[in-house]
Chains A and B, each alone.
Chain A
Amino acid sequence: MSIRVTSKTMPDLVRSQLNRLTARQAGLQNQISTGQKIQKPSDEPNSFVRLMDFQSETRSLKQFEENIQTLEQFSNTNYSVVDTVRKLVNRAQEMATMADDLKSPEELGIYATEVNEIINQLYRLSNTESMGQYIFGGSVTDSPPFEAVRDTDGRITSVNYNGNETPADILIAAEQKAKGLIPGSNTSGTGQFGLFSDVRAESDIFKNLINLRDYLRNGDHEMVRNDSIKALRNDESNLIYHIGAIGAEQGQMKSMAGLINEKVTALNSLSSKEADADITETILLLNQNKVAYQAALQAAGQILNTSLLDYIR
């Protein structure tokens, strides 16, 4: 025996079907307007957790990208200072080479004055600040790392280093750090090479230039030849090493920035797969749903209006 279909069966059925279709349409409409099929944790909890992870990693990578930009600023400043220091040391080397026994004491005196000026310039450069930090003090960034001792005529007779050999590590990836700063001096023989003096490189720019100036002032071209020329060569080698190191670091940063970009793109693509609605497919589904909805309304309109009452008089 077939099921009894009563006067309430059809309206109840139509009501629940229309409700279901309307709810589905609202859901599809929401997906189209937001472009997302997942918006809150309960939509798809496992995917939502993955998306939180992707978002978190993306934010972290963008911060590393910004750190790399900061590093690049430090690196550019470092390069500019090191290059100027190298030019000044080269000029001092030229004078040391020219200060032979053919030069008169007056001529050597003029060289001494120029070397003294170079020392003053280098002293100013050794206390360079960038973004509010003294960049050659290691981790001592809030006070000038180099301190000059002067004679009664104001000439620098020695330069003391008040910084340390351990500049801060900057995060450029979750597990990767880079040195943004160069220590001004390293007398320990471990860690980063110092810029103005380093025990391993046998370099001490201030000491060597002060000696050169004093040899020139005293007309001691023998010491200039025997001591200063070799010492300044060591200083130059150390500076060339630093220029190379900065270049290598800049290359590493560029490649790291590229890697971050690739990772961000990949994460965006993964997030898109997980969360974004396929608009074409969603519109098609919405159209299908609309047709079903209209058909349900039409059918209900016809059936609900018909009963035996229409046919008996």
Chain B
Amino acid sequence: MPTLFGSLNVSRQSLQNMQLGISVTGHNMANAATEGYSRQRVVLQNDKQYDGTHVLGMGARVEEIQRIHDVLIDRRIQNQKSDHSMLTAEKDVLDLMEASLGQVLDRQSLSAEGTAASRGVGASGGLSELLDEFFGTLSALTADPSSTALRQQLMNVSESLAVRFRTNDAAIRELQSSVEEEAALEAANANELIAQISRLNREIASDETKASGKSNDLRDRRQQNIEQLAEIASLETTNNDDGTVTVTIGGVVVTGVPEPADTLESYVTPEGTLGFRTVTGQQDIVISSGRLGGLAHARDVSLEGLRTDLDSFAVRFMNSVNDIHRSGFDLQGNTGKDFFTGTSAADIAVNAELLDNPSGFQGSADGTSGNNDVIHQLFDLSKTRNPEMQNQNFVDGYADIIGRFGQRIQGLNTAIGDNQAIGEMLTEKRNSVSGVSLDEEMTSLIQFQRAYQASARVINTLDEMLQTAISIGV
């Protein structure tokens, strides 16, 4: 049989439990909008006592303050964030490149643009428009091969074309260089996060050693940091018994307690690609996703692929034009000059001699001023199929390069859309498990408040009983 004082103790414990319950509810409500917060719950366990005859209920005690979360969902969100950042990082870079190419469709300007003869000298636009102008001016020259005005226009259009080749090449190289700088900044951000995770590891281990239960709020903050790190580089986590988490990137452990095991840096490899390695151990790390993975792919695959395509195109175009031009004669009967100089898209230019004196253009096959056979041969390049360009002519060959580049961006857009839908679904799922519901918390608040009031009533009753018991003796 429990004593009156024993019962009073049970109620006192209950008052404390309900107070804790109200405190946790308040904490939940205060963090209803906090990013990365997982709701907490007071887990109560009923208590018992054996008095020699009966097993009696002795109220309740707090088992733990539980952090409600799902490890599986956390992992999936981590991976989804890595993939999403990788895709968006690459897309952002390629969007900039697409704008730099200047290959924009403007149907309103086409009708007003007219023909080569009526177009302004050095008209702006993408390479496609300039190629059309080059061949258009050659077409106009067939009608008047010795015209100084048309020859001058051919030189200007050709120089604009060469400038566009050079500008495209320079734009890609500049963008590749910007990507290197961005990767260095991202690596620095990753190092900051790795340091924070390492510090939190120490605090969590320390908290959990000193007190029973888990350091829920610090675990939330650590999980948030891990997810931010996953956005930068794909990673793996291992939960340790002491409450710490070990983070590995590309198979290399980076976190520690309390200092990081190592830090990351990006660098340009001897092969010219963007690489990553640990600073102290100089160990190469393969980062397949996250922003760093996306930047590396954008720089070394997409941009480098485009640069190689445009460079091969420029060299083929330059050699084809030069081969034909060299065989012709200019208005003074000279022969053998190249039309373009340079060795790649980076340095292609119209022969300075021709720019200064367009009569040096070698359009005649026999030295007579009205012969235009070489001009015809040059014009035929617009339709001659080149086996090195999947049997396409120069105009279609360039369109194909642009088409493939556009497809890459479109593919990324689609993948980002799909990935975002997955992300929203996972976040919704996590909200449903870990998110705070104010309605639920209000209900809990009432529940704890009423339980508190009830326990207080029991104490009142016990007090009255004790007074009665005392008055028996008086």
Contact = CB atoms under 8 A, between A and B. Distances in A.
Interface in B86-137: 94-95, 98-99, 101, 103-108, 110-111, 113-118, 128-129, 131-133, 135-136
Contacts, number: 212
B181 interface: no
A168 interface: yes
Interface in B30-58: 32-33, 39
B369 A140 contact: yes
Interface string B58-98: 00000000000000000000000000000000000011001
A171 B142 contact: yes
Contacts of B465: none
B435 A6 contact: yes
Nearest to A268: B111
A59 B402 contact: no
A247 to B, nearest CB: 20
B113 A312 contact: no
A52 interface: yes
B103 A171 contact: no
Contact of A170 (B132, B142, B402): B142
B105 A67 contact: no
Contacts of A59: 110, 113, 115-116, 129, 132-133, 136
A66 B115 contact: yes
B461 interface: no
Interface string B143-180: 11111000000000000000000000000000000000
Contact of B382 (A39, A60, A168): A60
A102 interface: no
B188 interface: no
A312 B446 contact: yes
Contacts of A8: 32-33, 431, 435-436
A268 B101 CA distance: 24
B431 A9 contact: yes
Interface string B391-408: 000011001101111110
A42 B406 contact: yes
Interface string A56-81: 10111011111100110000000000
A52 B437 CA distance: 55
A181 B368 CA distance: 15
A164 B115 CA distance: 32
Interface string A31-51: 000011011111111101101
B139 A140 contact: no
Nearest to B34: A8
Nearest to B405: A41
B105 A48 contact: yes
Contacts of B468: none
20 contacts: A7-B33, A8-B33, A12-B431, A41-B402, A42-B94, A42-B95, A42-B409, A49-B400, A56-B128, A59-B110, A59-B113, A60-B136, A63-B136, A66-B115, A169-B372, A170-B142, A268-B111, A275-B105, A276-B107, A307-B442
Given A6-B436, A66-B118, A169-B142, 11 more contacts: A7-B435, A46-B403, A49-B406, A53-B396, A53-B399, A63-B136, A67-B139, A70-B143, A140-B370, A168-B370, A307-B439
